[in-house]
Amino acid sequence: MRETELMLAGYGLTTAEIFYRMPDHRNVLNTFVWQEYDLAPDYPALFRFIEFWQEKIEGPLHSVRFTHRKLIHPGEWRNVVGEFRLN
């Protein structure tokens, strides 16, 4: 789906800051920023990504901080037909 269709379907932009330990240096924390359109309050895309990280990436997770924002609400969208030009 396109981004506008996702937003009209109730999706919002989820941004996660992932803190993880370096595989060779366990005392060093690094960060990774992840963004995707996701559905609150279950966040299926975020949890799929975290599961992928735990299965495939060597750097163990330390913590995850995330925020979610709906950019367009279904009630805010109007289809405008026509155009006015002012010279």
pLDDT of res. 77: 64
Q: pTM for the whole thing? A: 0.78
- For residue 61, name the pLDDT band (cuts at 50, 70, 90): very high
Q: How far is CA 12 from CA 2, 9, 39, 41, 63, in A?
A: 13, 9, 6, 11, 22
Q: If 0-12 CB within 10 Å is exposed, 13-18 middle and 19+ buried, where does residue 14 land?
A: buried
pLDDT of res. 73: 64
Q: Quick: pLDDT tens for 7-45.
A: 888 899 999 999 999 999 989 999 999 999 999 999 999
pLDDT of res. 76: 65
